[in-house]
Copies of this chain bind each other. A is one copy, B any other.
Amino acid sequence: MDTIGHHYIAEASGCDPNVIGKVESVEQILVRAAEVAGVQVWSISFHRFSPNGVSGVVVISESHLSVHTWPEYGYAALDIFTCGGSAKPEKAVEWALKEFGATNVHITEVTRGLEEEGDRVFFHSIVTWEEELLKRAVNGQRAPARRTQRRRPAPSTGTGRRRTAAKPKR
């Protein structure tokens, strides 16, 4: 089955408000994430909203990276979508989450532009999981993660062609 792209959709919680509240730091993290992914940047557009929050997009040759932040909630909605075989979107997601200081994340990976039968009818499939990330250092001590889940997709629950194969982590 051919695949055109990979799209990671992340809800990042527990982010550092001092990081995700500043347009300069959010832009720097996303641009660096593009470098980590090994993709080519075409345009960068970031904005700060009143009273809080940053929105920004990096358009790349291989699709885009976007983020929208709510520093008052410690929350960032991150999307990293790349096409082609050479990009490393997972590394970019990991980088950005670490830089945001996220302590919890819920991720859905959408495989975009799947074509099963060469009939030019495209669909996508879905794998989703969540992780409690390693706590950041507190008072010089690094608190242990209460629970760290790694990706471990369950068997597909899809019911046929062009169905979403939802694979919740167990």
A77 close to chain B: CB less than 8 A: yes
A170 CB within 8 Å of chain B: yes
Query: Is A4 an interface residue, CB under 8 A from the partner?
Result: yes
- Pick the interface stretch among A5-13, A20-28, A88-96, A136-144: A5-13
Partner of A13, one of B120, B126, B164: B120
Tally of chain A residues near chain B (CB < 8 A): 55
Q: Please state if B55 and A42 are interface contacts (CB–CB under 8 Å).
A: yes
State how many angstroms separate the Cβ of A157 from the closest Cβ of chain B.
7
Contact with A166, one of B43, B57, B110, B164 (Cβ below 8 angstroms): B164
Contact A45 B74 (CB under 8 A): no
- C-alpha gap A168/B109 in the complex (Å): 16
Specify which chain B residues have a CB less than 8 angstroms from the CB of A70 in the assembled complex. Answer: 4, 113
* 5 A–B contacts from the bound complex (CB under 8 Å): A5-B77, A11-B114, A11-B122, A108-B110, A166-B168
Contacts from A to B (Cβ < 8 Å): 4-5, 7, 9, 11-14, 42-43, 45, 47, 49, 55-57, 59, 61, 63-64, 66, 68, 70, 73-75, 77, 79, 81, 83, 104, 106, 108, 110, 112-115, 120-124, 126, 128, 130, 157-159, 162-164, 166, 168, 170
